[in-house]
């Protein structure tokens, strides 16, 4: 069985407080984007994991796809036999696009369907939360306003299909932990639940990502890319998550030609 986990972007991202459990409270809108990995499982004599495409950093045991498999095996004993898992990475890791979270969440859904585990969407989302704060979003995979750690979600009516989305993925690594350490939490400057009523032409002056200021100070080449997106016609441009990926929303069939001091891949998606 084959699935294609997609990534996400953040439309606005406000870090509003530090929690007693060490995490931060945030407010954001998760929006699904059609840049996709490929994930397949096939019967096998013993479990095996095969990776291809972009490099995946870290230990294999920390891969969320394998953690999803272990989680469902533990909670549905005897129902999942040995399998070979093939993951082809297209979504860059550590870019603020949620690629690893998507892979883990899609693995839960794939296993549920293939082995007829009969878990509901809400049950899958609850299990996805055990993998990571933004993993439940990829179970629903529709635009959601999120708060708390990112797990407290409600659907939001935003449709960017009338526009073109250009995604820029620079070869710059931004540590999420370091990015949070550079943030001073404060109340959100705009209630993102009101985003559907705000004309997209007004987003530039209203909707912000709190990570941009500290991350751009350390990586001015990222700020330069955002400036080029606006200079070449973006209606709205932003960094996604804690970076380093950036995106521009353009009139349909338009995009920017980006030059940069760092290597990057851009994807003309919508």
Active-site positions?
8, 134
Measured in degrees and rounded to the nearest 5, phi and psi for residue 38 equal: -125, 130
- Beta 246-251 vs 236-239: how paired, if at all? antiparallel
Instruction: Identify the CA nearest to 160 among candidates 28, 29, 1, 23.
Output: 29
For the chain, give me the number of helices (H) and strands (E)? 7, 12
Whole-Å CA distances, 144 to 62, 92, 128, 153, 169:
27, 22, 16, 6, 23
State whether the Cα torsion 79-82-84-87 is positive or negative.
positive
Cα 201 from Cα 236, distance rounded (Å): 7
* Burial tier of 232 (Cβ tally within 10 Å: 0-12, 13-18, 19+): middle
For residue 269, what is the enclosing H or E element? none
Helix, coil or strand: residue 70: helix
Task: For residue 174, give both structure tokens.
Answer: 């931004």
* Burial tier of 58 (Cβ tally within 10 Å: 0-12, 13-18, 19+): exposed
Local structure of residue 92 (DSSP, 8 states): P
Local structure of residue 185 (DSSP, 8 states): -
Cα 142 from Cα 20, distance rounded (Å): 30
């Amino acid at each position: 069985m084959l699935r294609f986990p997609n990534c996400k972007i953040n439309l606005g991202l406000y870090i509003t407080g530090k929690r007693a459990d060490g995490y931060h409270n945030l407010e954001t809108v998760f929006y699904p984007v059609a840049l996709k990995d490929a994930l397949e499982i096939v019967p096998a004599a013993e479990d095996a994991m095969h990776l291809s495409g972009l490099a995946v950093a870290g230990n294999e045991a920390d891969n969320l796809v394998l953690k999803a498999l272990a989680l469902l095996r533990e909670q549905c004993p005897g129902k999942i036999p040995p399998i070979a898992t093939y993951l082809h990475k297209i979504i860059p890791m550590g870019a603020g696009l949620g690629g690893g979270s998507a892979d883990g969440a899609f693995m839960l859904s794939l296993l549920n369907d293939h082995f007829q585990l009969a878990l509901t969407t809400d049950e899958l989302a609850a299990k996805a939360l055990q993998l990571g704060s933004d993993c439940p979003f990829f179970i629903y995979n529709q635009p959601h306003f999120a708060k708390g750690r990112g797990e407290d979600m409600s659907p939001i009516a935003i449709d960017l299909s009338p526009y073109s989305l250009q995604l820029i993925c620079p070869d710059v690594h931004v540590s999420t932990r370091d990015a949070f350490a550079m943030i001073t939490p404060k109340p959100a400057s705009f209630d993102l639940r009101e985003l559907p009523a705000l004309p997209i032409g007004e987003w530039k002056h209203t909707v912000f990502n709190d990570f941009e200021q500290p991350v751009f100070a350390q990586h001015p080449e990222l700020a330069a890319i955002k400036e080029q997106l606006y200079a070449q016609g973006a209606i709205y441009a932003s960094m996604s998550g804690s970076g380093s990926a950036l995106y521009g929303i353009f009139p349909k069939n338009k995009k920017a030609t980006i030059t940069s001091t760092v290597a990057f891949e851009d994807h003309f998606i919508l």
